[in-house]
Chain A
Amino acid sequence: GQNIDQPTEMTATEGAIVQINCTYQTSGFNGLFWYQQHAGEAPTFLSYNVLDGLEEKGRFSSFLSRSKGYSYLLLKELQMKDSASYLCAVRGAYSGAGSYQLTFGKGTKLSVIP
């Protein structure tokens, strides 16, 4: 099975940097995803890591350590519009149903304050 843990809520100041952590225990691993979800909207893809290390994309970076079952999402130069839930999702072992499936964590609600 899959178990994914991330903090429930975080608060950070506009212009600052925030790091959202995610730990996982899975029976198989084929990549870790981060999604952003604004209230009442669908999740939107942010990043994907399958190898250890840091992936940078503009103000957003994501890090993965497979040996530790650990990832983080780093948001720099925070803006008010970054207030949203951030979902960590793990793609596990091949399911036999024709696909690798995503298992989502419960999400971290980030509030950016002035």
Chain B
Amino acid sequence: SAVISQKPSRDICQRGTSLTIQCQVDSQVTMMFWYRQQPGQSLTLIATANQGSEATYESGFVIDKFPISRPNLTFSTLTVSNMSPEDSSIYLCSGRWTGLEQFFGPGTRLTVL
């Protein structure tokens, strides 16, 4: 199976600041995704990270709040901007190769005070 790493693993941030989460995969992936998992909830797709172009956002998520970059096939970043306590969540990077399986990174646990 593939290896996906994320940095940081966790952070505590102040309201109004921004945090950039990095995702690195160990081989070139077809697709990369960013999910959010709020406490006690399941995974919600934020966006599909597209290489070299703007990410595709799901309903309820906008680029100004969650800018995403994907400069190459193995790396992506998600920024949570102008944070509020409602943004406290686990943010997960996910990758899918040419097969059917979709793998997840270990997640970044964000707490906003």
Whether a CB of chain A sits under 8 angstroms from the CB of B56 is yes
Q: Mark A70-88, 1 if CB is under 8 A from B, else 0.
A: 0000000000000000010
A13-21, A36-44, A51-59 - the one binding chain B: A36-44
Nearest neighbor of A106 in chain B, beta-carbon distance: B42
Whether a CB of chain B sits under 8 angstroms from the CB of A3 is no
B13-21, B61-69, B77-85, B99-107 - the one binding chain A: B99-107
Which A residues lie within 8 Å of B56 (CB)? 95, 97-98
Whether a CB of chain A sits under 8 angstroms from the CB of B96 is yes
Which one of A45, A50, A104 contacts B43 once the chains associate, using CB atoms below 8 Å? A104
Which B residues lie within 8 Å of A43 (CB)? 43, 92, 104
Which one of B41, B48, B50, B106 contacts A106 once the chains associate, using CB atoms below 8 Å? B41
Which one of B1, B31, B44 contacts A98 once the chains associate, using CB atoms below 8 Å? B31
Interface of A is mostly: loop
Q: Mark A88-106, 1 if CB is under 8 A from B, else 0.
A: 0100000101110111111
A111 to chain B, nearest CB (A): 15
Which one of A48, A102, A105 contacts B45 once the chains associate, using CB atoms below 8 Å? A102
| A23-53 at interface with B (beta carbon < 8 Å) | 31, 33, 40-45, 48, 50
Given the interface contacts A42-B106, A98-B50, A101-B48, does A48 sit within 8 Å of B42 by beta carbon? no
Q: Are A45 and B103 in contact (CB under 8 A)?
A: yes
B8 to chain A, nearest CB (A): 15
CA distance A99 to B45 in the complex (A): 13
Which A residues lie within 8 Å of B50 (CB)? 97-98
